[in-house]
Each structure stands twice: as C-alpha cells, then as structure tokens.
C-alpha cells in the first residue's frame, strides 16, 4: 500500500488498514498524518510548570506567559520560563501480557497498543521531545531510555514490531520498576487493558502523580470484552492462568456488562480525582480518530 501524504478529516483509519502496512514506521506516520494538521501547538509541552526565570519578551512569544506584575514595576515586558517546558521526557509503558493478545476479530489489543505507541513516539520525536519505551508483563521486559533522534525511533519501532504476548499482567510491579528510571519528572503513558488488581494499580499511579509526573492511561479493551455479544453455550478461558468455565452469554450478559462498566468507572473516576488523564478505547475504533480526538480534547483543556 502506498503511503499517503495527507488524509481527509472525514476519513478515519481502520486498524485493519494500518495492520496491512509494511513497516511500523509507515504505520506510525500514516496514523499521525490523520490528525496532525491543525494541531499547531504541542499537546504535551509545558507539563512541568515549575517557574525557573524571566527573560525579555520577544515578538512571537505567547502573551499568556507575560508576567504583568513585573511589567507594572519595570514598564517592560518579561515572560516566564519554566523548567522542563521544552525538553519533555516521555515514557511509553506498554502491556505485553497474555491478555493483551486477545482478539475477537481483526487485530489484538497488543497490536492496537503497538500502533498507538508507535504513533505517540513518532509524534513526540517530531515535536523534538525525548521518548522512551518500556514493555512489560509481570515485570519490565525491555526498557529503551528516552532519547531524541531518528535512530532512536528505529529502536522503539523495531521493538514494537516484534512484540508478542507473554506472561501474566503485573502492572503494579512494572510501574514500580519504571520508577527506578524516572528520576526526573516527565510524561508517563500507560497502554494496557488494566486487567490486574485495580486498587494496587491505582495506588501506584497516584504515587507517580504525587512525584509530579504527568500520566496518561490508555485503557484498551476488545469490543467483545465490552459487550459479550456471543450466543449459545460458550467456553470462556482466562488467557493468563488457563482456567475455563462453561456459560451461556444470554444469561450473564447484563450482569457482565454492569460489572465491566463498574470496573471502567472505578478507573475513570479515580484517575479524574488524581488529575490523571484516562482514555478508554475500543480496539475497533479507528486509530487516528481515537488519538486525534483525545489530543484535541487535551489541548482544549490546557
């Protein structure tokens, strides 16, 4: 398939179309081009707003950064500068546990998460930010520290290209291990189905927020995990421990959907209260639509 240079704002990219592209670099570029036009200001810059110093105003500086108190004293325009404002370090943390290998049709949660991670890495490096990658199951399996170069992007994309689901989920432990590498405040992006001990996961996310990191949680679920649309007697198997149960979806569907919704709402509300961005994504959702809508909303809220 040929690479496109631009995409209509009314043409959204089916994840299956992305999966057919030949390389991860092409997939990332293809998705990013679906929404980047019109996003003139980085949605990531300026997370760590710790005041550092003043400098004289220059044409082109945003007036929202002018310190009007200083202007009142000196009758000259000065703008505030903030630490880490222009050199963000981003850490993409991608769940590669067995449950992420689930697919009802099309692509798995892990494939979707890989394309999402690749797109974010491509975008952040395009914005001249540093970005790293950590993949995990019960613990971190691969860690690529944040860097800012085209060659570094190749390392990240190669890792994402070759990912396969492995063992059980250990989000809490993986986040704790990541803490060893994040000595400086940055942006942590968690991409996972979050099928782990919810209270422990939320506790660790809140700890990173306490340490002044910015957090974005992309919660990936397959459409069938949300709706349980199956009919007739059905064996359900836990992909991480192999346990199986025989059930009839028609009988349990309403209770199942209520429990799933409670599970989602618990993450959503807890993240909201802790100033953590939470974004639920059904893996049948077009990639550029999901990512573009999220980034546009984030930019409006800043």
Number of domains in the chain: 2
In tens, the pLDDT along 70-115 reads 767 777 777 665 544 446 789 999 999 999 999 987 899 999 999 9
Do both 230 and 288 map to the same domain?
yes
Whether 7 maps to a domain, the answer reads no
Range of the structural domain that residue 26 is part of: 15-40+87-301
Task: Name the pTM for this structure.
Answer: 0.78
Whether 9 maps to a domain, the answer reads no
Q: Which two tokens stand for residue 253?
A: 């569907």
Lowest mean pLDDT among 40-49, 193-202, 208-217, 237-246: 40-49
Do both 91 and 188 map to the same domain?
yes
Asked if residue 204 lies in contact with residue 176, where contact means CB atoms within 8 angstroms, the answer is: yes
Cα dihedral across residues 137, 140, 146, 151: positive or negative: negative
Candidates 148, 93, 150; CA nearest to 117 is 93
In tens, the pLDDT along 168-225 reads 888 988 988 998 888 788 899 999 999 999 999 999 999 999 988 989 999 999 999 9
**End-to-end CA distance of the chain, in Å?**
37
User: Domain with 130 in it: what CATH number?
Assistant: 3.40.50.410
Whether 4 maps to a domain, the answer reads no
DSSP-derived pairing of the beta strands 50-56 and 244-247: unpaired
Do both 97 and 76 map to the same domain?
no
Query: Coil, helix or strand for 89?
Result: strand
Mean of pLDDT values over 25-51: 55
CA distances from 160 to 97, 110, 276 (A): 14, 9, 25
Do both 108 and 55 map to the same domain?
no
**Strands, E assignment, 111-184:** 130-136, 140-147
Do both 69 and 125 map to the same domain?
no
In tens, the pLDDT along 123-160 reads 888 878 899 999 999 899 999 999 988 789 999 999 99
């Amino acid at each position: 398939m040929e690479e496109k240079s631009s995409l209509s704002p009314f043409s959204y990219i089916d994840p299956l179309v992305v999966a057919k592209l030949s390389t991860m670099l092409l997939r990332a570029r293809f998705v990013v081009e679906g929404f980047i036009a019109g996003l003139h200001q980085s949605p990531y810059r300026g997370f760590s707003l710790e005041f550092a110093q003043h400098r004289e105003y220059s044409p082109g500086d945003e007036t929202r950064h002018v310190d009007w108190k200083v202007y009142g004293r000196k009758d000259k325009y000065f703008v505030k500068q903030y630490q880490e404002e222009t050199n963000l370090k981003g850490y993409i943390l991608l769940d590669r546990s067995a449950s992420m290998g689930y697919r009802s049709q099309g692509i798995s949660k892990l494939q979707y998460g890989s394309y999402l991670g690749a797109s974010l890495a491509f975008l952040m490096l395009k914005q001249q930010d540093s970005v790293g990658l950590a993949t995990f199951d019960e613990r971190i399996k691969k860690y690529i520290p944040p860097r800012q170069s085209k060659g570094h992007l190749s390392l990240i994309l190669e890792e994402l290209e070759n990912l396969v689901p492995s063992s059980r989920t250990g989000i809490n432990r993986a986040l704790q291990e990541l803490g060893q590498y994040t000595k400086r405040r940055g942006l942590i992006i968690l991409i996972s189905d979050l099928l782990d001990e919810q209270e422990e996961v939320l506790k660790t996310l809140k700890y990173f927020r306490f340490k002044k990191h910015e957090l974005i949680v992309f919660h990936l679920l397959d459409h069938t995990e949300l709706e349980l649309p199956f009919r007739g007697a059905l064996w359900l198997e836990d992909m991480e421990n192999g346990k199986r149960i025989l059930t009839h979806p028609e009988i349990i569907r309403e209770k199942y959907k209520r429990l799933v919704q409670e599970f989602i709402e618990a993450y959503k509300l807890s993240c909201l209260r802790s100033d953590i961005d939470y974004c639920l994504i059904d893996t049948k959702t077009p990639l550029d639509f999901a990512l573009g809508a999220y980034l546009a909303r984030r930019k409006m809220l800043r």
